[in-house]
Structure 1
């Protein structure tokens, strides 16, 4: 039976799960803490926990092994069988290896794992780089190994906590790839800095290639996370560029796409891709040179989807300005018209022109926002910008 005091003062027994949950990453005796962006996949849409006073949930990870430690504290709890147990709810999303309450045991297991730790995967060729005196590298994790599967189980709760509408992937599906960004300044105990999941979507290559056994895939980035304690260092752009360049070199990969990106990741990708296209295309792109044949051939070389490549060309034309404002405006409006042809043709001409102009002005404003922090250069792979922290 519910405690009658709770019905009189429910606010005293209700805690925001976003505030109650405190996430830590520990390294060499020090801990970095941060809050989750979301907890509704675990605690429900209201993101609250009822039935406790002074609720605090500690979720800690070792920087190297990412072994989780969970502790739940509160000053009082209602005597009600319907009260949700925070430990039980979180354990539904954490691996069995998670240590609960016993911090000494967690430290002991962390030390034991760290001494024999080896990254369960292969170094991505050309992925080693240095930022602000720290060394980093990207590894493709072997999900078919016990160690690789366990590492992914430990990492995946971050998807729920930091990606809106994020969900767990089926790691048993061999078409999933997981890449982890490590800080490797200390090669013996590398630190997890972020990770990416991507799916190999099979694409029919045509009769001739199919008969020869040639494979084609669309590589779709599904989840992209830089840990909060590593954000603001430009690591997201570096990680994206490394994977893009890696997949671009693979003959079987014909297109690199993103699944439902949020605005922050969209901006990051746009700025990275702008650098790539600007670096490789002629110094001054002429609208007259953008024929259907040139467009299809060049897009295939970059392995961008159509919408992304069109937007990149439009931003570069706007940035360069040498084609003239009117020509650029007409070039962009032509694409907008073709994209929305069915709807626009049902309108009278003045309304249609007004709609196109409004759409162009909105798009131009967004393009200039994206372009503003980018410092274009002709060599090097990094993006110099004041990007917001990505997801």
Structure 2
């Protein structure tokens, strides 16, 4: 037994955290290849390396995945200080290269010199598709305003299919449940952000992030665009690009009379917060959401106006109303605060009441001891505590949106 434990300890030395081992870069200049300051790492690697996100068989494992900033030409290298087969027979290491090759498309470089040579072609790279929006962000470090462009593209754009294959690899590292899409389906729309920058007097473009939207059919003659995937690459996060992108996408679909409303597929908490901010920005200028109307509660006029003018569905309109109502409410006034709290909790309590109705149906066919167990599950005291917790969490989310609106 001692010998077995000793062997396990020795083999454990050949396990590496793949989130740390994988180094990603967006390379603009040849010197960037050796610049560790611009390296970033995945948040997830389980789709390649399993739920434990561990690679076995190597010491000092370093997986290089470097991309040219614009066209995303890829450099892929696997380096390590030693391999398990150097010391142990009949123990096979993980096929690192095979696992990564399943994610990245063919045509990548394995030689740094070849990759640097290809950087010279970046000047020929131009954003795909139609320009929808241009905006600037002040860069404190550079002491200047940086210009960004948002484009709408599709697979008919020459070179876009191959570019998208490289771009979507980032999803695997930064979205937990990501999957690749079928680009041959013409119902997909692609929205991309690019940064304009200068290199030796030339204007070049760097990839910042993108969003995919699928246009679902709604009987009899409408469509419902649904946001599927959205990512702002880590070097650009925290600069407001997500809000610029989502706002541009909404504005694009707002003008289409065939669009019913705009939704999202399995949105993350971060995406919901972003959507709250963008939709509140839009709705705060609508007459039905004026402070004078907010005090009278959520109305059919709010639903109709937000849907017709902004393509916002009823559920999202209600959430916008609650945020704007909070902003217009003096929460230091006990009566006003109580009125707001009761209105929000009235909506939140809906699922609990549904559980009670379902329980009433179940108890007709349950034995006494089974009925007692079910009643304990939805004990009223527990419900009140959970309801208060949900309310406080929602209040915190809403306050963050209001603070961001004030800063904007």
TM bin (shorter chain):
0.7 to 0.9
TM-score under structure 1 normalisation? 0.84
Are 1:43 and 2:49 matched, yes or no? yes
Alignment of 1:279-290 (within 5 A): 279-280=285-286, 281-288=289-296, 290=298
Are 1:60 and 2:66 matched, yes or no? yes
Shift of 1:180: 0.9
Unaligned runs of 5+ in 2: 139-144, 361-374
CA distance in 2, matches of 1:180, 1:6: 51
Query: For the Cα contact (< 8 Å) 2:298–2:321, is it kept in 1?
Result: no
Are 1:325 and 2:340 matched, yes or no? no
Q: Which residue of 2 aligns with 1:268?
A: 274
Are 1:89 and 2:99 matched, yes or no? yes
Alignment of 1:173-252 (within 5 A): 173-186=185-198, 188-205=203-220, 215-252=221-258
Query: For the Cα contact (< 8 Å) 1:20–1:56, is it kept in 2?
Result: yes
Shift of 1:185: 4.1
Shift of 1:267: 1.5
Q: Which residue of 2 aligns with 1:147?
A: 159
CA distance in 2, matches of 1:261, 1:253: 20
Shift of 1:305: 2.9
Q: Which residue of 1 aligns with 2:311?
A: 303
Q: How many residues align?
A: 362
Alignment of 1:64-75 (within 5 A): 64-75=70-81
Are 1:371 and 2:380 matched, yes or no? no
Alignment of 1:106-117 (within 5 A): 106-112=115-121, 114-117=122-125
Please identify, of 256-265 and 186-195, the stretch whose mean Cα deviation from structure 2 is larger: 186-195
Q: Secondary structure in 2 aligned to 1:321? A: coil
Structure 1 pair 385–86 and aligned structure 2 pair: CA distance change class (3 A):
farther
Please identify, of 239-248 and 221-230, the stretch whose mean Cα deviation from structure 2 is larger: 239-248
Shift of 1:359: 5.1
Of structures 1 and 2, the one scoring higher in RCO (CA 8 A, sep 6+) is 1
CA distance in 2, matches of 1:6, 1:272: 56
Deviations 1:128-154 (A, max 9, x none): 111100001111122234411011111
Deviations 1:281-323 (A, max 9, x none): 31333353634x3243134133223322212212222221269
Deviations 1:19-49 (A, max 9, x none): 1101111113435211100000011111111
TM-score under structure 2 normalisation? 0.80
Whichever structure has more helix as a proportion of its residues is 2
Q: Which residue of 1 aligns with 2:131?
A: 123
CA distance in 1, matches of 2:12, 2:128: 46
Shift of 1:78: 2.6
CA distance in 2, matches of 1:353, 1:328: 22
Q: Which residue of 2 aligns with 1:212?
A: none
Structure 1 pair 6–16 and aligned structure 2 pair: CA distance change class (3 A):
farther
CA distance in 1, matches of 2:155, 2:304: 35
Structure 1 pair 356–272 and aligned structure 2 pair: CA distance change class (3 A):
farther
